[in-house]
């Protein structure tokens, strides 16, 4: 009887210690920190390689500048899209196509990069757009964090992250759900790299669970803090790049 009581007590202690540890961690801050610098403007480069079931590969390269909720994406390659620029401010997005002075408003749901959505390549702020709904500690000590979008019309209404057991609990995998509850994307965080002493996401694999065999590799690199002004993220600036 005494033995059983001790077991129960120890089990409760382990669970409480796990949940205390889980509660103490600012998960949104961890998720934001791996995709940039929250306290200043910054830039980074991305190479996307989209792969189709027949093995056909398409590659593009982008340069992204971020300041708070504003992102400016410059298309570097392939040659036929070089010079295109995408501006995002909150949910508003504008696209400039070279050889015109026309800047057109595009919807967030519009894909401009094949399999990669606009939301995947721009700066992400989970702190501003999502809240933690539930945290669970898994048997292997990894942590599952459920995020729900603050804004009901967000592209990903719910995201389920699996974070590594080890500090600093970097994301290992995430599942992205639409408002209807459909799983629309699975992301595998394959590699991190240190920039300015901080771990940043370096390689990401996006798998399309709806269309079998479709996946995209994303290589993030050259994270760099930069002094940026809000005027650099003006709609007029797109046609001046």
Q: Provide, rounded to whole angstroms, the least separation between the CB of residue 135 and another protein.
A: 11
6's enclosing H/E stretch is helix 2-24
Residue number, 6 or 77, with CB nearest to another protein = 77
Dist CA 82 CA 134 (whole Å): 42
Cα separation, 48 vs 105, in Å, equals 23
Tell me which of 33, 68, 217, 226 binds another protein, using CB under 8 A: 217
Tell whether residue 10 is a contact of another protein (CB under 8 A). Answer: no
Write the DSSP string, 39-91. TS-EEEEEEEEEE-TT--EEEEEEEEEEETTEEEEEEEESGGGTT-EEEEETT
Shortest reach from residue 64's CB to another protein, in Å: 12
Q: Which stretch binds another protein (CB under 8 A): 2-10, 34-42, 123-131, 152-160?
A: 152-160
Residues near another protein (CB under 8 A), total: 73
214 contacts another protein (rule: CB under 8 A): no
Residue in 71, 125, 173, 174 binding another protein, rule: CB under 8 A = 173
DSSP state of 229: -
Q: Are 22 and 137 in contact (CB under 8 A)?
A: yes
- Closer to another protein by Cβ: residue 5 or 51: 51
Binding to another protein (CB under 8 A) within 33-52 occurs at: 45-47, 49, 51
Per-residue contact track with another protein, 70 to 109, x per CB under 8 A? Answer: ------xxxxxxxx-----xxxxx-x---xxxxxxxxxxx
Whole-angstrom Cα distance, residue 201 to residue 62? 16
């Amino acid at each position: 009887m005494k033995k059983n009581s001790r077991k129960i007590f120890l089990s409760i202690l382990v669970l409480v210690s796990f949940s205390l540890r889980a509660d103490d961690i600012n998960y949104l801050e961890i998720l934001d920190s791996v995709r940039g610098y929250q306290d200043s403007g910054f830039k980074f480069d991305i190479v996307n390689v989209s792969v189709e079931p027949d093995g056909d590969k398409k590659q593009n390269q982008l340069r992204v500048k971020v300041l708070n909720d504003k992102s400016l994406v410059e298309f570097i390659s392939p040659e036929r899209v070089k010079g295109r620029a995408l501006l995002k401010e909150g949910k508003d997005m504008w696209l400039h196509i070279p050889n015109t002075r026309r800047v057109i408003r595009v919807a967030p749901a519009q894909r401009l990069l094949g399999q990669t959505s606009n939301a995947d390549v721009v700066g992400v702020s989970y702190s501003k757009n999502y809240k933690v709904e539930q945290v669970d500690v898994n048997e292997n000590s990894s942590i599952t964090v459920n995020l729900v979008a603050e804004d009901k019309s967000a592209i990903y209404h719910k995201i389920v992250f699996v974070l590594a057991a080890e500090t600093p609990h970097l994301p290992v995998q995430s599942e992205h759900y639409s408002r209807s509850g459909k799983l629309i994307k699975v992301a595998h965080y394959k590699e991190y790299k240190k920039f300015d002493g901080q771990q940043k996401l370096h390689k990401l694999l996006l798998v399309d669970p709806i269309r079998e065999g479709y996946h995209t590799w994303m290589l993030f690199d050259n994270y760099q803090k930069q002094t940026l002004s809000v005027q650099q993220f003006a709609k007029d600036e797109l046609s001046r790049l």
